[in-house]
Amino acid sequence: MSELRTGETISLQGGGKVTIKKELGRGGQGIVYQVDYNGKDEALKWYLKDEGDLFYRNLQRNVNSTPPSSNFLWPLRITERQNESFGYVMHLRPKGYYELGDFFTAKVRFKNYDSVLHAAINICNGFLRLHLSGYSYQDLNEGNFFINPENGDLLICDNDNVAANRTESGIKGKSRYMAAEVVNGGVPNIQSDVFSLAIVLYRLFMLDHPFEGMTTLKYVCLTDEVERNIYGEGAIFAWDREDNSNRPHPQIHYNAHLRWGWCPQSLKEAFQKALGKESVLHPESRMTDREWKNLFVELRRKLIVCPESKGTDHDFMVDDINSTLTCPLCGKPVEIGALLKFGDGTEYVLTRHKKLYLDDSDETVGVARVRKADGRTELGLQNRSDNNWMVFTASGRLNELAKDDIMPLRDGMKIRFNNRTTAEVIIH
């Protein structure tokens, strides 16, 4: 096993070096160190053993390629082979970001569903861009994501395994996240990626595992053969509509029971499609990253912030904004304050403290605010973008709303956010 010492220097391919400062963490494949690289603190992932020529050449290609998006902590430099192994340099994880696995153990909690949906959209956008570039990730699991619980900002790490679609990098992944065909010896690819993505997304929302329930609890020891079955072709989705044999245990899988009850029907149907037996056995039937992204963007448009929440803005997801709405946390009825109706027909719900995003952007351009004026309470909208908004009243008067300014919302008002996007205000 190859480990490095504080103060040791490691040579980089093409020239230069890094100096080991301290260990940050370790896993089954390698150790991550904080290093000094040209006077700047960066991270070095160092493999416990030489992963072979195939893996080394693939990592070289990744270093020389452009990251799919800014969400990827992409390999910056690869080291020379030395000390019976090698590694690569990447940026350090910023403060305030936690591994997805930390959320499962309640070490950290998401602020609300706005932050969960924000993280989900960022995950889908990242993998959509990766797949459109002709690459597959090949090793999705809970350790690949660093997430800010306050806002859902996300970084994707461990990109050393990324390879051209249907090309082996030498890594298969973790059994709890692998598609059945990979568990059975197949080569990871984009279709196996989207199956692993569905497992990650289920865990993001439910804080539990989609294939672990009453059936899996009967195994005292998870041998390789057992794992190949319960996470491979024998996998049974915990909420399968036709097979209830693997339902989550009410106490052991408490999160799954509670959070499944909070899910809107559209999200439940998506998980049924993505994780049901048809998807396990037939890769071509799986939910794509684009389908997931479109669903989460729609749920974000309809997200409701409970007016009774204090301190933290409790929110909840719905499908039908025209139905009677009740907050699942406090049990009180909730009324929608206003809608923004865009030119393409989509509607965006505005309730107290609801953030406004345009399309699938991760930028908060506005926030709904409660204002008190003339002895009454009314809903307003604050401009949080860098653009001045052009506001047309129902009577045709034109006003301009600068950054951080707030305006009261009136029925029939039209807001031009930028040169491409205009919406009409509809008061409920």
Domain covering 303-427 assigned CATH 3.30.1010.10 in the classification: no
The structure's pTM equals 0.93
Round the average pLDDT of the chain to a whole number and report it. Answer: 91
- Which residues have a Cβ under 8 Å from the Cβ of 142 and sit 6 or more positions away? 99, 100, 101, 104, 177, 200, 203
pLDDT of residue 171: 63
DSSP 172-228: ---TTTS-HHHHTTPPP-HHHHHHHHHHHHHHHHHSS-TT-SHHHHT-SS--HHHHH
pLDDT at 145 over 90: yes
pLDDT confidence band for 184 (50 / 70 / 90): confident
> 190-206 and 289-301 are packed helices; what angle lies between their axes, rounded to 10 degrees?
30
More confident residue, 396 or 193: 193
Which DSSP category does 283 fall into?
G
pLDDT of residue 329: 83
Which residue ranges does the chain devote to CATH 2.60.200.20?
303-427
pLDDT at 59 over 60: yes
How far from 204 is each of 77, 101, 113, 248, 259, CA to CA, in Å?
Answer: 31, 9, 11, 16, 11
Number of Cβ within a 10 Å radius of residue 18? 24
pLDDT at 210 over 80: yes
- The pLDDT tens digits of the residues spanning 294-350 come to 999 999 999 999 887 766 678 999 999 988 899 888 888 898 889 999 999 999 999
pLDDT at 1 over 60: no
The alpha carbon of residue 359 and the mean position of all alpha carbons in its chain are separated, in whole angstroms, by: 17
**What is 98-295's CATH number, 3.40.50.2300, 1.10.510.10, 3.40.30.10, 3.30.300.30?**
1.10.510.10
pLDDT of residue 169: 64
The alpha carbon of residue 159 and the mean position of all alpha carbons in its chain are separated, in whole angstroms, by: 16
Residues 305 and 355: their CA atoms lie apart, in Å, by: 10
Question: Which H/E stretch holds residue 339?
Answer: strand 338-342
Which residue ranges does the chain devote to CATH 1.10.510.10?
98-295
Residue of 103, 65, 73, 68 whose CA lies nearest to 89 = 73
> What architecture does CATH give domain 9-90?
2-Layer Sandwich (3.30)
pLDDT at 118 over 70: yes
- The pLDDT tens digits of the residues spanning 350-409 come to 998 999 999 888 899 999 998 776 767 789 999 999 999 999 998 889 999 999 999 999
Q: Which residue has the tokens 């865009």?
A: 342
- The pLDDT tens digits of the residues spanning 29-49 come to 889 999 999 999 999 999 998
Which residue ranges does the chain devote to CATH 3.30.200.20?
9-90
Residue of 203, 374, 224, 194 whose CA lies nearest to 287 = 194
Taking residues 282-291, what's their average pLDDT? 95
pLDDT of residue 90: 95
Residue of 239, 125, 140, 124 whose CA lies nearest to 182 = 140
Task: Let me know how many helices (H) and strands (E) the chain has, helices first.
Answer: 11, 25
